[in-house]
Structure 1
Amino acid sequence: MRDKVERGVSLGTQVADIIRQRIVRGELQAGDRLTEEGVAEEFQVSRGPVRDAVSQLSYEGLVEVRRPRGIYILGLSADDVEQLYSLRGALERLAVQRAMDVTDDEPWRRVWQCVERMAVAADEGDHPAFQKADVEFHSLFYEMARHPRLLATWRQYEPTFAALLDVTINHDDDLHESSEAHRRLYDVLRSGDRAAAEAELIEHLRGAEERMRLELVARR
């Protein structure tokens, strides 16, 4: 089925989301070439949204603009995956440490709701619902950190990690192990043990990185 964009939602964001997913899934590979005209025609949009999409994807290191020849896919290598997850590890450790200072129960209630939604999604085998709750779970730590620059940096890369999760999560027939991992992370964060929380987070992200590495190996 041909991908389509919805009117009323940022067209550039939608185009970027679709192209990003194609890159992460391996449907677009390093060296493949796109043109503004071709992308605009496929999605039935003007060149403005295409340029917005390309600008975002270029920032994420997924494409490169070579004028006047076009837009070239840089793809996703094992080195890219290592860089992305090492960056995320540094960002999220700071986010989590600051989030643990939050004493207000309301933000933590929202985090727990994500844990509950993942448990339900695991029971129902609902991968899209699980992915949505998973991304929100981690995003909430950045919001709770009360660090606007940290949050802004995460927002830049959040779509990339959502696309990576979309790929890896669909390889898990049973989502209960991942659901339980998020419950454990929540519990240790609420315990107040900072050293244990950092160790659990590092292991959590290491597992996510390893699943993506295995995906890349399987494509060779």
Structure 2
Amino acid sequence: MTPADQPVFRQSPAKRARRADAERNRAAIIEAAGAVFAEQGGTVDVREIARRSGVGMGTLYRHFPAKEDLLATVLEQEVASWLTAAHQAAAATEEPWQALTVFFEQALDILARNRALVESYAAAGPPACAPRRDAVMDELRIRCVNAGLLRGGVTTADLVLLLTSLSQVVQAADDGHPGQWHRLLRISLDGLSSRHTEPLPEPTLHADAPGND
């Protein structure tokens, strides 16, 4: 039988409609989960996510058998979106130090409004997105080094740890003192300036740590 003679199997209208419904349900679950996780963190009851998305628990579990699967999907999408925007903003900013500042401001602004993302940073960093995040931060570090703006000895691992550390205080600061984290960020970034010439303590390096060459 030639290819032209082979039967063509087409999905029936009913099956296409069911598939479209399933895709809409999945999108609604992810959208609702993003809002709920941001507000309440990763310990939230998935029944609240199902309620906000307008689907039943059975539908939710068909798409995401475990809450961890849903949380990972949401966080990876949000971090990927943030990193894309952050990289574009940094690339569009000619002054290297300003680019680094904008990156931290964008990151902490997102973290201040997203409890689940902060929890993820506290545990092990953004799932599956850490290498991309580190690459963006390494690029910003190198730009500052080449411009003579960054304090000697500062590594990309230092910048990652600074972001992780500030993520733990940013929500607490915003709860009682909205916008206070902007002051904390400026104080922290000032310590990275090349105006400070005192040698930094030697870090304990890991072979795979970024920006340690």
TM-score class normalised by the smaller sequence? 0.3 to 0.5
TM-score by length of 2: 0.32
TM-score by length of 1: 0.32
Higher strand share: 1
